[in-house]
A and B are shown apart, each in its own frame.
Chain A
Amino acid sequence: MRKNLALAVCLFAVFAMLALSGCGSKEEVMEEPIMEPSDAEDVGSLTGDDIPLADVSDDTVYIEPASSVFADIYFEFDRYNIRPQDEAILQRIANWLQENDQVRVMIEGHCDERGTNEYNMALGEQRALAARRYLVNLGVASARLGTVSYGEEQPLDPRSTEDAWSKNRRAHFVVSE
């Protein structure tokens, strides 16, 4: 959980910087930036202050932070087809990527330990490619979507249990820039 939180904070910071520097979407950007750089030229010295909730006007449009959009999707044992319950995640990712058209995403494909090392390297790639294909079909430019397989080399949970295996059979999205 702590790791996820850290990731969320990181991704949110990246997004906020993108939005502030004008790389992100235009109209949808919050009217009152939460964080104001003290020097617009120097994004390395960001300062932030809490703003009273009352100051946030009702018509502020919130943009979902990337961390809540780029959730892992999971796969059945030995399979690489997209599960129906993960389609909503991919739809949200596609929407987000269309709003943030400068962002590139690396899709990591992972496997549980039960296949052969060798075949799992191919299976991991097929999982990443399946997610990529799905996003391309939803209109995301294929050039923005890279794939990389880790086979069974980087399990999220190293234990040999059904629960660990199901967590390890995943496609993971890394927002690169």
Chain B
Amino acid sequence: MQAHRLHRPLRATLVVTCALLLFAVSAGAQVHLNVSKAFGQKVIVAVPLFEVEGGTIVDPSAVRDVLEFDLGHSGFFSIVENREFVDETETDDRISGRIAFQEWSALGAEILVKGTIGGDLSEVYVEATVYDLAQGKAIFGRRYVGERELWRDAVHSISDDIVFKLTGETGIAKTKIAFTSTVTGFKEVYVMDYDGENRRRVTRQEAIAVSPDWFPGGQEIVYTLLLPNRHECRRATLDGQGSRISAFPGLNDFASPSPRGDEIVLALSKDGNTEVYRLRADGSDPRRLTFGRSTESSPCWSPDGRRIAFVSDRSGVPQIYVMSSSGGTARRVTLQGNYNTSPDWSPKGDLIVYVSRVSGVFQVCTVDVETGEVTRLTSGAGQKEDPSWARDGRHVVYSVKQGGKTDLYMIDIYELEPVRLTSGAGDYQSPAWSD
């Protein structure tokens, strides 16, 4: 059977060998199902335990947990709550050999995802079929095959397929988050799946690594390394192969790759003041974009690459400004508060997320670039820092320092319920979401 083949992400990106539609229903045409529901209303999905073929290769309840987490945090779905009824109905289906659409609908479900996992110790396959319960028919099916330890990637892929097929939106289940951790006693760059799993270390510098960000494509990181007496801006592949981009005297910090990945913007102080510069991704051809005696730092690109947001204290306190990516006059976009830093521009183009000091506590806010409308996303006592957008322009990851420990959280900007992603010893800081 031909299928989507998963490869170890370190070696190669997902290679689609052949698209397989288990059901030739509405092939090619996207099914935008029920998403014309009123804002905030979600499609209710039932996820029974996946069937196991050929022995217990992967715990089917772990598979369900991952798929439910993915769909439940996509922003579009809610999960049928009573698993007992879900499992009973699934058992009835298996005994009868047919799908009791009415029974599933009676549970409140609108969509049903049935799946199978199987394989052997070296290779695993995960397949799922998605049914529209109201119409009583299959919408589409997908099958992924790969090395056994990639089963999570397979489930994330199925979730993104479901989100895309049913809403036309790009899911985030296959994305990754880069961050820094002090768990070794040094500060190193790590990456993890967006749900906090599969943590692995990228740098082994045994120094202080700060401000990681992704090159487009999710295969390379840019970060700044603090060495005795100098800062280096470096790039590294996920398996740790690295090279230096810049090591000018002073700062080489807050690097942000352009949407095409061929350039970066960053802050340098080589000319005697902290200013924003643009250079090629190999470190050549630095061009200064800001001038003045104030501090200009923390630049990031707009998704079309035509503008740059950055922080300046030219008003006396740090605020967010926007200018052309070739420099020139900057416009202040944060008009409230006296400490606004760490901008990141939404992939949708409309909002900038940033950190604002509100009553002495750092909170994550968004500002509409055109209207200036500010929305606060977080509340409570913990200090929130370094927000970064997911590619859906809907989720934001950030750090929270509370009780002497810093962990990473994500939040849906329409639902505002923080989800904790890290735990355990050490601090987790400076998250950056891959595309």
Contacts and interface: CB of A to CB of B under 8 A. Distances in A.
B355 A116 contact: yes
B45 to A, nearest CB: 39
A146 B342 contact: no
Given A116-B362, A122-B298, A149 B229 contact: no
B386 A116 contact: yes
B251 interface: yes
Interface string B192-209: 000000000000000010
Contacts of B250: 125, 128-129, 146-149
Given A116-B342, A116-B355, A153-B226, A121 B249 contact: no
A113 to B, nearest CB: 9
B274 A119 contact: no
Interface stretch (B49-57, B80-88, B130-138, B265-273): B265-273
A142 B273 CA distance: 13
B295 interface: yes
A80 to B, nearest CB: 8
A148 B231 contact: yes
Interface string A114-127: 01111101110110
A122 B274 contact: yes
Contacts of B210: 117, 121, 151, 153
A149 B385 contact: no
B295 A153 contact: no
Given A118-B385, A119-B342, A122-B274, A129 B226 contact: no
Interface string A25-58: 0000000000000000000000000000000000
Interface in A89-116: 106, 115-116
Contact of A122 (B230, B272, B297, B362): B297
Size bin of chain B's contact surface: 20 to 34
A119 B208 contact: no
A123 B355 contact: no
A118 B386 contact: yes
Given A125-B274, A147-B249, A149-B251, A119 B229 contact: no
A87 interface: no
Contacts of A126: 273-274, 295
A133 interface: yes
Interface string B31-71: 00000000000000000000000000000000000000000
Given A119-B341, A129-B273, A148 B230 contact: yes
B346 interface: no
Size bin of chain A's contact surface: 20 to 34
A134 interface: no
A97 B256 CA distance: 38
Contacts of A150: 208, 226
A13 to B, nearest CB: 20
Nearest to B294: A126
B386 to A, nearest CB: 6
Nearest to B429: A117
A123 B229 contact: no
Given A117-B386, A122-B267, A146 B298 contact: no
A174 B229 CA distance: 10
Contacts of A121: 210-211, 251, 253-254, 297
Contact of B297 (A78, A119, A153, A174): A119
24 contacts: A78-B317, A78-B339, A106-B229, A116-B385, A116-B386, A118-B211, A118-B298, A118-B385, A118-B430, A119-B311, A119-B318, A121-B210, A121-B253, A122-B254, A122-B267, A125-B274, A146-B229, A146-B250, A147-B249, A147-B250, A149-B250, A149-B251, A149-B253, A153-B210
Given A147-B269, A153-B210, 20 more contacts: A116-B386, A117-B210, A117-B430, A118-B254, A118-B298, A119-B339, A119-B342, A122-B254, A122-B295, A125-B250, A125-B269, A126-B273, A132-B272, A149-B231, A149-B251, A149-B253, A150-B208, A153-B187, A153-B208, A176-B229
Interface of B: 187, 208, 210-211, 226, 229-231, 249-251, 253-254, 267, 269, 272-274, 295, 297-298, 311, 317-318, 339, 341-342, 355, 362, 385-386, 429-430
